[in-house]
Amino acid sequence: MPVITLTIDEELVSARAGQSILEACRDHEIKIPTLCHLDGLSARGGCRLCLVAVAGSPRLLPACTTAVQENMVVTTSNEKIERYRRMILELTFAERNHTCAVCVSNENCELQTLAAELGMDHVRYDYLNPDLPLDTSHERYGVDHNRCLLCLRCVRVCDEVEGAHTWDVKGRGIKSQVITDLNRPWGASESCTECGKCVEVCPTGALFTKGSAVAEMKKEASFLRRILDGREKRQWRR
Amino acid sequence: MNLTALTELAEQELQRQQDLKLRLFLCYSTPCISAGAEAVKVALEELIKEQDLAAQLEVVATGCMGPCSRGPLLRIVVAGEERTYEKVTPEQACEILLHGLAGNPIETGALPADIPFFARQTKIVLGNNGWIDPGKIEHSIARDGYAALAYVLHEMSPEEVCNEIKKSGLRGRGGGGYPAGVKWNLVRKSPAERKYVVANGDEGDPGAYMDRTIMESDPHRVLEGMAIAGYAVGAEQGYIYVRGEYPLAAARLTKAIRDAERCGLLGSRVLDSSFNFRIDLRVGAGAFVCGEETALMTSIMGRRGQPVPRPPYPAQSGLWGYPTLINNVESFANVAPILHRGADWFAGFGTEKSKGTKVFALCGEVVNSGLIEVPMGISLRDIVFEIGGGLPDGGQFKAAQTGGPSGGCIPAEYLDTPVDYESLKELGSIMGSGGLIVMNETSCMPDVAKFFMEFCMDESCGKCVPCRVGTVEMYELLKRITDGSAMLGDLETLEELCGLVQETSLCGLGMTAPNPVLNTLKYYRAEYLAHIEENCCPAGVCQLDQVPLLKLPEHAAELAIFKEEN
Amino acid sequence: MTVPMASSVKEGENGHELKFQLVDKSLKKCQFQQDALIEVLHSAQEAFGHLDEEILDYVSLQLKLPPSWVYGVATFYNFFTLDPQGEHVCVVCLGTACYVKGAGEIIARLEEALEVEAGSTTADGSLTLMTARCLGNCSLAPMLTLDAEVLGKQTLESTIAAIEAKRALVAAAAEEEL
């Protein structure tokens, strides 16, 4: 595979053609915050946390969907990018009801961790406090829309890895919400295989295993890599 | 059909028209129908039947003539002199017919031939509007319809066509202003077994109806432009995406496609050449974001109309992953005239960087509202005060809004700015698709900004966080400003949010959503401050009946009443 | 496995089957291509007036698409409605030109006068009040459509009069039938 060279944060690095900026950065242990991205799933470019500056582009570009190019000059962090990332997190917190203290994923939550890492310690915008339901109709799992970030990892893993496409999104804009089948209770879904992948990939406490008390719900997103390696490379690691 | 047959058909139709003693052109577009054109048509037809005049004259139900606020409009040509009558009643129409037939047309109700509304316009795109029945392909052919396509197929190489478009300086009429020829060349050069041409007729900007009128009044012009584009880029399939709110446009295009196919002007072996081109219609289902090209394409593929990040651009990977040329309907309507009369002729109109003409929907607080086509570079003052005839009832000009929810308001001090892509951008607005709404002193700018933000909030697809949540938060802040509960700090928060949404949103909808706010803050900041600091709406629109949260203690007395009542 | 089409399995004389036949016609016309989902939903809504679970389920079966996918598309677009519509539909345009000319007030006072919120149907099912983001008839501002008719340069009074006339027409027709 052709190798190309580019500059990331003033350092000359090599990458494989066709890689995204994000992949190239991860190969060189340059950290870029992400929320909707998950290795093994298609790139989405929706959370906008991985925005980076690329010389010659008038706009910031999402590292997850932008392919590397020969001689590209990428800046992954500067004062403005950091400020925008914090603001985007503020908006994310303001959108739904993220009450960490009573959340099953408290201290095991990607959103919470990111806020701490990026130094987002308060929200300056109006909390929208939407009135959202909690669906515990499924025998083993539950979905709490109050914690959902609409990263759509569940939708993508269900479609791309499990192949069931039980999840999708209804409505649009601020009224978007993840749904199962024809917006029926999860427990009544005919297409759900109960594989639990959606629960594992969910970055917050929106999807959880029933019976988890506050702070007990630990996710293991890396299992997806295991399944994909098994399928594609015929290697089963543990 | 081949070239000879096409020419013959055109000549036959012209002869038929010349043999008639009188042709009455009745504007049969939605505004005129709503004003009573249907009754006029019935009355004329009855009279013709009664007096057995069918052999001597015909009534042509045409597309939009322009001065929509003066409908129903009826036009006749007697001895080479053209007369357009306004606000025609069925009785008047019969009078006009009888006198016209006798060769001494009446003058009452006729618009003066030299009124600026007509005199200041240059019609390229709308050249056939008001002169043809959009449902009759022979009318179109008699006015050189498909002649450019015939010429191109037999005399020019695809490369030459692209270069001709490039040379003409035509820029995308959907708002962005990207050079059309450059885009065509990109698609032509993209190697692929299949390519597509898409006409964007999802005109979603509130206050804009140019594309609707073009599609309803002269559908063949759009189809011809698409076919030429198909030949130029190497595509055999085209899609025309029409907004769901425009059922009449969809019906007329459907008929036009069928008629053109029947005549061999679309389909396989177009005009006896080896070129095949099919056009299918796609009807939108009500989502503004589908005007964004990548979202439009996902919608054509039957999915949720959400945009995808660019690059890759549609020219590289569009519909089903194949190179796709996507242009606005108005851009395609410019193509046939350019190839028919030459790039140099076209480049003779407009300014150095913006060539040709632009169609505007002039409405709001203006005497002559309607559809106009003007050369690029004309001043706003000429549009509003000459063509538009100024504001009614002695109203004071406050602002001209262009570009819809992606644009901004242009204040009176910039009335002499030439209307072209760059100048409008400099003012913080955009050309947009061509809506131009005149506002008088009763329009409140923070309220207008709130109106557009509400629009963007409702129309956000929800894919990216800045647009999905940012528009709601900006709307909340604007609501606070207009209800009296805002503090000065809110203005700062608002401006900062505008910057974020502008710079980090995924697609054009989010990127441009803050424009109306930023632009009105730039020119009408005093109005915002009056709302916040003086609790006063200078235009008298806002209620301002709320109190800032931090000032609640000062209003303790009112609060006490509030408690008692509850 | 091929899924039997509703029109062939449900033999009946009432309108329901006939409506499904219209959907089937559209499905056949687009050769059951998944990309044609929006066209099929358009014709389904034209036939039924709205898209309920049964219809969405049917479309998803016929196009071999996941139900959630079909539901997602149906709820993304403004045009599709999952609730039955009133006998008459009044759409008030809230485009810029109409807004500048006072459409905002018309809709607010219509809501009050008809005791119905924009986007919903009156209790007696006689009228659905909707708003649109621009119907492209800006020179007629403020304008609205009542069923398929375009009414330009409206005031609150003229709108209510038009709606009442429509309702009266239906009432008269109903009486005649009795």
**For residue C129, is pLDDT > 50?**
yes
The per-residue pLDDT for C102 is 86
**For residue C113, is pLDDT > 80?**
yes
Q: Which residues of C touch A165 (CB under 8 A)?
A: 66, 68-69
Return the residue of C nearest to A191 by Cα: C66
Distances (CA, A) of A23 to A12, A20, A73, C121: 15, 5, 15, 52
CATH T-level assignment (fold) for domain B357-440: Ubiquitin-like (UB roll) (3.10.20)
Sheet hosting strand A51-54, strand order edge to edge: A11-16, A3-8, A73-75, A51-54, A61-62
CATH T-level assignment (fold) for domain B445-553: de novo design (two linked rop proteins) (1.20.1440)
Q: How far apart are alpha carbons B373 and B390 in whole angstroms?
A: 17
Residue B231's nearest CA partner among B315, B164, B157 is B157
| Interchain proximity C96–B284, CB inside 8 Å | no
Run of H or E residues at B445: helix B445-459
Sheet hosting strand C88-93, strand order edge to edge: C120-121, C127-132, C88-93, C144-146, C149-151
Residues of chain B where predicted confidence (pLDDT) is lower than 70: 557-566
Q: How far apart are alpha carbons A18 and C120 in whole angstroms?
A: 50
Instruction: For the domain covering B144-347, report its CATH number.
Output: 3.40.50.11540
Average per-residue pLDDT in chain C? 85
Report, as an integer, the average pLDDT of C53-80: 95
Structure tokens at A36: 């909707």
Rounded to the nearest angstrom, the minimum Cα separation between C69 and chain A is 6
Strands B357-364 and B435-440: parallel
A117 band by pLDDT with thresholds 50, 70 and 90: very high
Higher-confidence position of C113 and B158:
B158
Residues A163 and A50 in one domain: no
Q: How far apart are alpha carbons B114 and B32 in whole angstroms?
A: 22
Return the residue of A nearest to C52 by Cα: A182
C10 band by pLDDT with thresholds 50, 70 and 90: very low
Query: Whose structure tokens read 């109903």?
Result: C174
Report, as an integer, the average pLDDT of C66-72: 97
| Interchain proximity C66–A169, CB inside 8 Å | no
Query: Which ranges of chain C would DSSP assign to H, the alpha helix?
Result: 6-9, 15-29, 37-48, 53-62, 67-76, 96-100, 103-114, 156-177
**For residue C166, is pLDDT > 90?**
no
Please check whether residue C56 touches A, CB under 8 A. yes
Q: Which residues of C touch B31 (CB under 8 A)?
A: 137, 139-140, 152
| Interchain proximity A48–B466, CB inside 8 Å | yes
- DSSP code of residue B383: I
Q: How far apart are alpha carbons B232 and B504 in whole angstroms?
A: 36
Higher-confidence position of A120 and C18:
A120
SS (H, E, C) B325-361: EEEEHHHHHHHHHHHHHCHHHHHCCECCCCECEEEEE
**For residue A1, is pLDDT > 70?**
no
Rounded to the nearest angstrom, the minimum Cα separation between A235 and chain B is 32
Q: Let me know: does B325 contact B496? Beta carbons within 8 Å.
A: no
Residue to test with chain B: of C71, C73, C96, C140, most B Cβ within 10 A: C96
Q: The dihedral of CA C104, C109, C110, C115: what is its sign?
A: positive
The per-residue pLDDT for C11 is 45
Strands C88-93 and C127-132: parallel
- Give the pTM: 0.92
Domain span at A71: 3-77
Rounded to the nearest angstrom, the minimum Cα separation between A157 and chain C is 14
| Interchain proximity C66–A166, CB inside 8 Å | yes
Give chain C's largest Cα–Cα span: 58
Give the CATH number, domain containing residue A179. Answer: 3.30.70.20
**Residue from the list B311, B457, B465 with its beta carbon closest to the beta carbon of A91:** B465
The per-residue pLDDT for C8 is 47
B38's CB contacts (< 8 A; 6+ apart) are none
Q: How far apart are alpha carbons C174 and C176 in whole angstroms?
A: 5
CATH match for B3-119 among 3.40.50.300, 3.50.40.10, 3.40.50.2000, 3.40.30.10: 3.40.30.10
Structure tokens at B203: 């005109």
| Interchain proximity C138–B207, CB inside 8 Å | yes
The last residue of one of the domains, among A43, A77, A111, is A77
Higher-confidence position of C178 and C148:
C148
> Is residue A104 one of the residues assigned to a domain?
yes
Phi-psi region of C85 (alpha: psi -120 to 50; beta: other; left: phi over 0): beta
- DSSP code of residue A158: I
> Is residue A195 one of the residues assigned to a domain?
yes
C18's CB contacts (< 8 A; 6+ apart) are none
Q: How far apart are alpha carbons B551 and B437 in whole angstroms?
A: 38
Q: How many domains does chain A have?
A: 2
- In this prediction the ipTM stands at 0.94
Q: Let me know: does B235 contact B196? Beta carbons within 8 Å.
A: yes
Residues A55 and A160 in one domain: no
Structure tokens at B325: 């040329």
Q: Which residues of B touch C42 (CB under 8 A)?
A: 244, 283, 285
A158 band by pLDDT with thresholds 50, 70 and 90: very high
The last residue of one of the domains, among A77, A111, A143, is A77
Q: Let me know: does B206 contact C133? Beta carbons within 8 Å.
A: yes
Q: Which residues of A touch B309 (CB under 8 A)?
A: 45, 61-62, 65-66
Helix (H, G, I), strand (E, B) or coil at C2: coil
The per-residue pLDDT for B563 is 55
Distances (CA, A) of A130 to A133, A134, B207, B249, B532: 10, 12, 32, 40, 27
Adjacent-strand bridge partners of C91:
C130, C145
The per-residue pLDDT for A231 is 82
**For residue C97, is pLDDT > 50?**
yes
**Domain-wise residue ranges, chain B:** 3-119, 144-347, 357-440, 445-553
**Domain-wise residue ranges, chain C:** 6-76, 88-177
**For residue C88, is pLDDT > 70?**
yes
The per-residue pLDDT for A236 is 77
Q: How far apart are alpha carbons C156 and C139 in whole angstroms?
A: 18
Strands B397-402 and B408-411: antiparallel
CATH superfamily of C88-177: Glutaredoxin (3.40.30.10)
Peptide bond into A203 cis (omega under 30): no
Residue to test with chain C: of B215, B303, B372, B410, most C Cβ within 10 A: B303
Helix (H, G, I), strand (E, B) or coil at A123: coil
Q: Which residues of B touch C132 (CB under 8 A)?
A: 245
Return the residue of A nearest to B508 by Cα: A59
**For residue C153, is pLDDT > 60?**
yes
* A108, A113, A115, A117: CA torsion to nearest 10: 170
Average per-residue pLDDT in chain B? 93
The last residue of one of the domains, among A46, A77, A108, is A77
